[in-house]
Chains A and B, each alone.
Chain A
């Protein structure tokens, strides 16, 4: 993985990296089927899909019996006890307990009856929440304030991993690095360079049903995943997850030995490894050794202005607010997405306007592309028209993390802004020591401009539209602190609707509002090229299945007869 998670506590599984480990250490009620595309949910810790009341407000979820937490000193006698519905209730409540410093409360905020009030009353775990109850030891009931069609998707995220209260209290603050879950693996060591996991002895024995998991022989047989059908995972004796920040180092480790067995193809290796880019094919010497899969990411990279900064965003002076709008629009026009794609994503990323990425069904391929069309002349004219010049343009602090890539991203952005008239010394680089530090700065609304990537938590554009929903402002996921009452109203209306043309229409209207208000420079969905050794039986996924694919990984001896049969 690119980076080490700062915490393995599900309440803080905000990053892709944390989520990849958390879903292997903890159980979630639901999960996405391993092989089915488009993605489809299936019960995981739950015994069945939820029973939903006709009004869409009450979800009854049966929890599997005979599920045990991993053995740990936190339990009496060190023996893991059975997981119950109460554990799920406790785990979800933790997201509304400020002392846990949660990162995923926004998923359920204003959704579950009584949960926000429980938080306001001091997060007392002895107090019941009317909308979040364990009806008996193996039945959870969730009652919603209004319909929430994405609820079940949220219960497949690492955020909803079920933790035992004993372990949280036993380890205290150290719980974040001493995970105790009921997931398929348990942690044996963890530091800034590597996490080592081994199969969890108490994990339930459920054979793989490939057909149920959505196996498609036409597209997936070449990866050998049929070999795991009917067998009981996990298949590996030991899972080592190396945290290697630099793509080139990961690549060296991947190619030079058997240190790591799957890796993304770094940008700088594209010409050396690929025979063609469209379509993506490997050169024969690499195809001989590795499997490859390309996938459009379920997410995108974008930059947003922090609207709470009066220099760029909202301003009490209407004239200045109008000029700020023009300034933001000009900067958007001055951003050269095609060059960014070419420089950093081999030109195969997909540039799109707005915040509904191509991977979701609500994506509008016919949307006007003005906001992603590079137009430095237009940008300069717009600035001049609104009285902006080198003296009056505000100082922009650009936050980043150390490293040559981050720095070149900054330099590229600064060069484009210089082309539209921004003085070089008015775009200032501020380097944060770690990714965690810059995330903290975003949450505390310390930066006027935020460049980041967003990975969708579930395949629904609601998950990206919430990035600009007013009540999600900092420290929530709306880092740009965009507050548009009309947008918020549409978001609330769409939030209770099941997928339908009407809902898609609302989504697209919100998307257009965000574009018209020039809030963000967006966006580009990257195409991930993943390679893995031919003796590894797997179908890696960085989207919704995420780290859960590791549960199904098997490693055969190189040259095993089964492998030869695949060729």
Chain B
């Protein structure tokens, strides 16, 4: 018996190796992955202090146009918009990764428990919690969490994780209900394997393809939400993000200065678009119905 019995294809290859092969032949998927990796390298460079170390400094004149010295120009107080844009990439990845990991892990955990114990009070309780959180408007929930955490820099992350996990949990719950009726799970139960062991060792690994796709979707949603929340003053507290840059640009645009707005919008568009396409390609590659 194998925990991955159902993932082995007709030709003996695993679902993963087939998906990898399929993804490699998906040109759009590969290009989008390359773009995402390029952004990731930018973000990593910021984390390692290779570039954009001067994002907080005031180095130039007010509203300087794009030039050799300031590639994207400067903002109203003379900060280099290019450096701030690069730093914002790090923020986007930080928020995206943390929220994607947190929301996916929480969604997987609670979804799997709800699915395994479907029909019991545990399942009902988790479904009720999901319903309650779903019914609170996202922005209000963030505001409430931000207020409760008294300006904590993690308020935004916590708020996103506390809502984004629900979609993942619903999917995982359904998948686990399907999986738990399979023979290998019934066999494990019959020989007395611990329930938690069954959930986490034998069932959950078989939902990994769903989790991967959900994580990429959460990543994109987190980046978009961060921009909205930072624009509204509920997001990034100390640091820089594309949302804050767009927020800064609200009065600059009226003065005819578009650099902040364009830099943040174009970079955000590029990452979100690439990640969405990457996510789609990944979904196609991992879909067992299309894996041949």
A404 near B248 (CB under 8 angstroms)? yes
The answer, yes or no, to whether A241 is at the interface (CB within 8 Å) is: no
Contacting residue for A415 out of B58, B237, B256, CB 8 A: B58
Residues of A within 8 A of B254 (CB): 248, 251-252, 266, 268-269
Q: Give Cα A2–Cα B247 distance, bound, in whole angstroms.
A: 18
Residues of A within 8 A of B62 (CB): 342-343
Residues of B within 8 A of A267 (CB): 251
**Considering residues B57, B58, B75, B151, which has the most beta carbons from chain A within 10 angstroms of its beta carbon?**
B58
The distance from the CB of B76 to the nearest CB of chain A, in whole angstroms, is: 5
Contacting residue for A431 out of B75, B233, B256, CB 8 A: B233
Question: B61-82 interface mask toward A, CB cutoff 8 Å, 1 = contact, 0 = none?
Answer: 0100000000000011111000
Q: Give Cα A433–Cα B155 distance, bound, in whole angstroms.
A: 14
User: What is the total number of residues of chain B having a CB less than 8 Å from a CB of chain A?
Assistant: 24
The stretch from A32-40, A405-413, A516-524 touching chain B is A405-413
Residues of A within 8 A of B79 (CB): 411, 415
Interface of B is mostly: loop
Tell me the B239-270 residues at the A interface (CB within 8 Å).
244, 247-248, 250-252, 254-257
Contacting residue for B255 out of A252, A272, A408, CB 8 A: A272
The answer, yes or no, to whether A339 is at the interface (CB within 8 Å) is: yes
The answer, yes or no, to whether A291 is at the interface (CB within 8 Å) is: no
Range of interface residues on chain A? Answer: 35 or more
B244 near A407 (CB under 8 angstroms)? yes
Contacting residue for A268 out of B77, B244, B251, CB 8 A: B251
Contacting residue for B58 out of A339, A405, A430, CB 8 A: A339
Tell me the B131-154 residues at the A interface (CB within 8 Å).
147, 151
The answer, yes or no, to whether B56 is at the interface (CB within 8 Å) is: yes
Question: A242-274 interface mask toward B, CB cutoff 8 Å, 1 = contact, 0 = none?
Answer: 000011100110000000000000111111100
A431 near B237 (CB under 8 angstroms)? yes
The answer, yes or no, to whether A429 is at the interface (CB within 8 Å) is: yes
With contacts A247-B251, A408-B76, A415-B79 known, is A403 near B233, CB below 8 A? yes
Q: 27 A–B contact pairs at CB < 8 A? A: A246-B251, A248-B250, A251-B254, A266-B251, A267-B251, A268-B252, A268-B257, A269-B254, A270-B255, A271-B255, A271-B256, A343-B62, A343-B76, A344-B76, A407-B247, A408-B75, A408-B77, A411-B56, A411-B58, A412-B77, A415-B56, A415-B57, A418-B57, A419-B57, A424-B56, A428-B238, A431-B151
Question: Interface on A for B, CB 8 Å cutoff?
Answer: 246-248, 251-252, 266-272, 339, 342-344, 402-405, 407-408, 411-412, 414-416, 418-419, 424, 428-431, 433
Q: What are the 4 A-B residue pairs with the smallest beta carbon separation, nearest first?
A: A402-B233, A268-B255, A415-B58, A412-B77
Could you list 16 further interchain pairs (A-B, Cβ under 8 angstroms) beyond the known A344-B76, A405-B251, A415-B57?
A251-B254, A268-B252, A268-B254, A268-B255, A268-B257, A272-B255, A339-B58, A404-B244, A408-B75, A408-B77, A419-B57, A424-B56, A429-B238, A431-B151, A431-B233, A433-B147
